[in-house]
Structure 1
Amino acid sequence: MGLLRGVARTAVVAGTATAVSNRVSRRQANRWASQESYAEPQQQAPQQVYVAQPAAPAAAESGDVIAQLERLGKLRDEGVLTDAEFSAQKARLLAG
């Protein structure tokens, strides 16, 4: 019984540490990105122009939406996305 409790406690601690580490990494990446946006214009690379691709057929879009929803659900389950972020992205996907 003591061994099982120790294993469970270790799993909880490891899971918590992973979640905290991921959150710290995301925040740090966001800070670096915001600092780079304030960099001097001479240091920035020239802007590239992207051409919009034509829309895929409707049948492929429905499968793609399902795949994207599954990925969003996985990210939410892993703690990368909050419930609010998940809901916002889900609404955006379903709205088309």
Structure 2
Amino acid sequence: MPQRFGRPGLLGTIARTAVISGTATAVSNRVERLDMRRQAAAPAPQTPAAAPPAPVPASQDRVSQLTQLADLKAQGLLSDEEFATEKARILGS
């Protein structure tokens, strides 16, 4: 078979394309893995802690708890006995 000079044939073009594509994929995957390792090793950014909410006066807290309790009873989720028990607990009786 005589030696060819000039442009590569169809198989040569396909082989060259496969090599280029494989190399590009390998490099891309390597870069992605390195980025993932860097992100995993980097410390998480610190966000300033939120200030705790201001304390609610006890009377307002009791009122809201009693309101929620009354709503649960009105929805039929609490029996009269459960309502009375929780009401006594909230009022401290």
TM-score range, shorter chain: 0.3 to 0.5
TM-score, length of structure 2 as denominator length: 0.39
Q: Which has the higher contact order (CA 8 A, sep 6+)?
A: 1
Larger radius of gyration: 2
